[in-house]
Amino acid sequence: MAKDFNVPPVVFPSGGNPGTGIGPGPQQRRPSAPFQPPRSANPNIPFMSFDVSSAPSSTAFSTPQFAPTTIGGGGMGFEDEAPLLEELGINTKQIYQKTISILNPFRVRADLHDDADLSGPFLFLMAFGLFQLLAGKLHFGIILGWVTVAALFLYVVFNMLAGRNGNLDLYRCLSLIGYCMLPIVISSAISLFVPQGGMLIMVISGFFVIWSTRVCTRLLVELASYGDEHRGLIAYACFLIYALFSLLVMF
């Protein structure tokens, strides 16, 4: 025999029974606008909205903008920078003036050679080696080696003659010997059109050797102290140096 149980009815707070379909059902949330805070959010928490339309449009192919470059905190840009040769310490105007001065052996300006440099001598030595190469002689290493030994030789000879009062340094001596190589460079260029081993090439080489000797001797006497007292010995040392280089041209 079945026994009946009295089950009290369940009453929901919303006032309806979802199982029976009577009364209002569960509340549905309305869709909110994108990028907006929800309605049930705590009003004490700040929310920063983001508007996509307010962002500046940019593409991958947009032209980059560069600020002007400043050097050392100043307002100099790339256009105001010094030339490359000036930054390397190569004064082309000074080299040109020294070259023109040596081309006139009777009016040599010794004041131009107060500031010694090796840019002009290196240029003359490379030109000398190039003319020798055109003549079928590879003498680049010999030329550079002989110039170094010649500078040491002239430096020792002059300071031995001048004693403790000699003020000729090796750097200036190398610069003077290199600049006075210009007549030898001219003779090597002329020798390309003259038969080798003849009397004519010897006369031409002798003329340019005397030219180089005169210029180098005058520069040494005027730029170094106590050089005028030993002009003959200095000229003899310079003659030996440039006669040695002329042998490369003749043979």
The secondary structure of 65-124 as a DSSP string is: --PPP-STTSS--GGGSPPHHHHTT--HHHHHHHHHHHH-TTS--GGGGSS--SHHHHHH
41 part of a folded domain: no
Helix (H, G, I), strand (E, B) or coil at 46: coil
Q: Does a structural domain hold residue 179?
A: yes
Q: Is residue 109 part of a domain?
A: yes
Q: Give the pTM.
A: 0.67
In 3-state terms the chain splits into helix, strand, coil percentages (rounded to 5) of 55, 0, 45
The CB density around residue 99, as the number of other CB atoms within 10 Å, is 15
The most confident of the ranges 58-62, 91-95, 158-162, 213-217 is 213-217
| Residue 74 placed within a domain | no
Question: Which residues touch 120 (CB under 8 Å, ≥6 apart)?
Answer: 95, 98, 99, 175, 178, 179
224: pLDDT confidence band, cut at 50, 70 and 90? confident
Q: Considering its fold, how many domains does the chain have in total?
A: 1
Residue-wise pLDDT tens digits, 42-83: 555 555 555 555 555 554 445 555 555 555 445 455 566 767
Q: Which of 129, 114, 243, 104 is nearest to 189 (CA)?
A: 129
Classify residue 147: in a domain, yes or no. Answer: yes
Widest distance between CA atoms in the chain: 156
Whose tokens are 């003020």? That residue is 167
With respect to residue 78, please indicate whether it lies within any of the assigned structural domains: no
If one compares 240 and 105, the residue with the highest pLDDT of the two is: 240
Which domain, by its residues, includes 127?
91-250
* CB contact at 8 A, 143 and 170: no
* Percent over 90 (pLDDT), the chain: 46
Reduced to 3 states, what is the DSSP secondary structure of residue 190?
helix
pLDDT at 191: 94
**Which is higher by pLDDT, 29 or 156?**
156
For residues 115-128, average pLDDT: 94
**% of the chain with per-residue pLDDT over 70:** 66
Confidence class of residue 249 from pLDDT cuts 50, 70 and 90? Answer: very high
Report yes or no on 29 lying in a domain. no
pLDDT, tens digit (0-9, with 9 covering 90-100), for 197-209: 889 999 999 999 9
Q: What angle do CA 224, 118, 182 make, to 5 degrees?
A: 80
In a domain, 10, yes or no: no
